[in-house]
Structure 1
Amino acid sequence: MNIQDLLSASRVNFDLQATTKLEVIDELIDILDADGKLSDKEQYKIAVLHREKEFSTGIGMGIAIPHAKDSSVKEAALTLGISKKGIDYESLDETLAHILFLIAVPADSNDVHLKVLSFISRKLMHQEVRDRLMSAKTYEDVLDAFQ
């Protein structure tokens, strides 16, 4: 999988302003919506929050990967946000989330979101990748972190 097939420079925010889980979900969805990937921002938000009620997507190690499969998504896309302060994302290990990926896929996608989730999770298990993302200043730095 090639990360740049799903993540564009316009969907990366190196300085998230959110301080809560709900605010960061809104901030990431706003980025996705501004890039034209959603037909209905509110519908997608409901889908993401529904998924979060089932089980927090704060996977630990400073990472959260909220995601939803919904008909409001025009095409599969990723958004990346970095929070220097960290956000209480109800993570499994109770650490603050600093690296947040939002995965959006259309409802009629087969298992795209599972493949993307698996790819990102495997990469982020490595401390070096997390460190490189936290120090990234450009989209190219993000791509390099995943090489």
Structure 2
Amino acid sequence: MVVNMEELDFSKVVTEDLIQLDLQATTKIEVIKELTNLLFVNGCIDDEEGFIKDVMYRESEGVTGLEKGIAIPHGKSDYVLKTSIAIGRTKQHVEWESMDGSPINIIILFAVKNTDKTTTHIKLLQKIAVLLSDEETIEQFQTLQTKKDFLNLLSKNN
């Protein structure tokens, strides 16, 4: 299946139910567990432990922390039922390997079906990368107050 960038609509992969603006987590693994649970309760994955193992395997391969407090961990996994994105913001910054050495407080967790890994996954990462290359967007992510505002910001840049 070929995915056209214009047709790739964030609303198909992230909903308000997959956004948590006040994560309780204080460590990287806690963040990943909290966001994984969101994916699980919303029917996007069928095994939390298995998916976490896949995400942590990917984490061991390279840095997923970008700059300015944002990380994009991701798992390509057989446990994913529906390619999705969970977004979280922590109350305090979390230690995370990042390109600029800064701790993280906004996490965009990709859950990608193995069957989508060469198409949808790459397109989603490209769109998020474009989004995160914009300073204003990053600043807005830090200050947005509602889940709806997050979704609007994602789709504005769609």
Tell me, yes or no, whether TM beats 0.5: yes
SS at match of 1:113: helix
Contact 1:105 1:113 in 2 (8 A): yes
Identity of aligned residues (%): 33
Q: Which of 100, 105, 114 is the matching residue for 2:122?
A: 114
Contact 1:15 1:84 in 2 (8 A): yes
Q: Which runs of 4+ in 1 moved over 3 A?
A: none
Structure 1 equivalent of residue 64 of structure 2? 57
CA distance in 2, matches of 1:3, 1:130: 17
What TM-score, normalized by structure 1, do the two folds share? 0.94
**What amino acid does structure 2 have at the position aligned with 1:115?**
K
What residue ranges of structure 2 are gaps of 5+ in the alignment?
1-7
**What amino acid does structure 2 have at the position aligned with 1:96?**
P
CA distance in 2, matches of 1:143, 1:48: 24
CA shift digits 1:72-123 (9 cap, x unpaired): 0001101000124111111121111121100011111132111111111110
CA distance in 2, matches of 1:35, 1:24: 17
Structure 2 equivalent of residue 102 of structure 1? 109
Q: Which of 142, 145, 154 is the matching residue for 1:134?
A: 142
Structure 1 equivalent of residue 46 of structure 2? 39
Structure 2 equivalent of residue 85 of structure 1? 92
C-alpha displacement at 1:129, in angstroms? 0.9
Contact 2:20 2:147 in 1 (8 A): no
CA distance in 1, matches of 2:19, 2:139: 16
The aligned length equals: 147
**What amino acid does structure 2 have at the position aligned with 1:138?**
T
CA distance in 2, matches of 1:82, 1:106: 24
Q: Describe the shift of the 1:11–1:114 C-alpha distance in structure 2 as closer, same or farther (beyond 3 A).
A: same
**What amino acid does structure 2 have at the position aligned with 1:75?**
K
Contact 1:132 1:141 in 2 (8 A): no
What TM-score, normalized by structure 2, do the two folds share? 0.88
CA distance in 1, matches of 2:99, 2:31: 18
